[in-house]
Amino acid sequence: MIDWLELAESLITSPWLYAVLIAVSFLDSFLPLIPSEAVVIVAGVYAGTGQTNIVLVIAATTLGAFLGDLVPYTVGRLLGVRVLKRLPPGTKRRAAHDWFVRELDARGGFILVTTRFIPVGRYLATLSTGIVGYPWGKYMLFVGFATATWSAYTALTGYLGGVVFQENTLLAIAVGVGLAFVITGIIEAVRRLRRRARVVAPDTTVDGTPPW
């Protein structure tokens, strides 16, 4: 198994680093065990010390993540008809499917952008949008924005640590990873609060909440 962190650090002054960033962010879009955030943060830390280019780090990570997010969406589109056949009208699973379609129509951009910052959430969201047949054009637009903001946030988190702690690279990396965890936790907390606020009653179907 590839040690992506070790590989990135060994290529930190090489142009091949950006190819590694593209690869790791691409694979992380559908393989949960790939540590893309950690690798991008490390690249950002070294950008803070002048050894990498922060603009190229963000651009490479954005490109890889964007291409990677197309994979689960495409798989979802291919499986969509088969999945729908297994969700007969009147069942709870079909109601959940129809609810998610309505949610995407109402706030698809918000869902795709926020779940990009949640490791497991990003896989479920991108696959599900394909399964329910979310429009290709809107998906490309929102995912493009989501991956760009995620890449900038992750790389700049490391960059901040690198600038502040230029004399201590390990401390800079630790601070960068810590900031990423804190901000991701805040995003997840806000998402949960918004979801709870929308739920009025378990059996309500009129207001758009799932009927279970």
Residue 176 CA to residue 171 CA, distance in Å, equals 8
Confidence of residue 165 (pLDDT cuts 50, 70, 90): very low
User: Measured in whole angstroms, how far is the alpha carbon of residue 169 from the centre of its chain?
Assistant: 26
Entry pTM: 0.74
Do the Cβ atoms of 142 and 51 come closer than 8 Å?
no
The amino acid at 100: F
Question: Where are the chain's structural domains?
Answer: 4-198
Please give the pLDDT value at position 200. Answer: 46
Q: Is the pLDDT of residue 94 over 50?
A: yes
Positive/negative CA dihedral, 37, 43, 30, 101: positive
Two tokens at 199? 């739920």
**Run of H or E including 64:** helix 54-85
Q: Which tens digit of pLDDT belongs to each residue from 13-41?
A: 899 999 999 999 999 988 877 878 888 98
- Of these ranges, 59-68, 112-121, 145-154, the one predicted with the greatest mean pLDDT is 59-68
Residue 97 CA to residue 76 CA, distance in Å, equals 13
Q: Which tens digit of pLDDT belongs to each residue from 182-205?
A: 555 565 566 566 666 655 444 444
Q: Is the pLDDT of residue 115 over 60?
A: yes
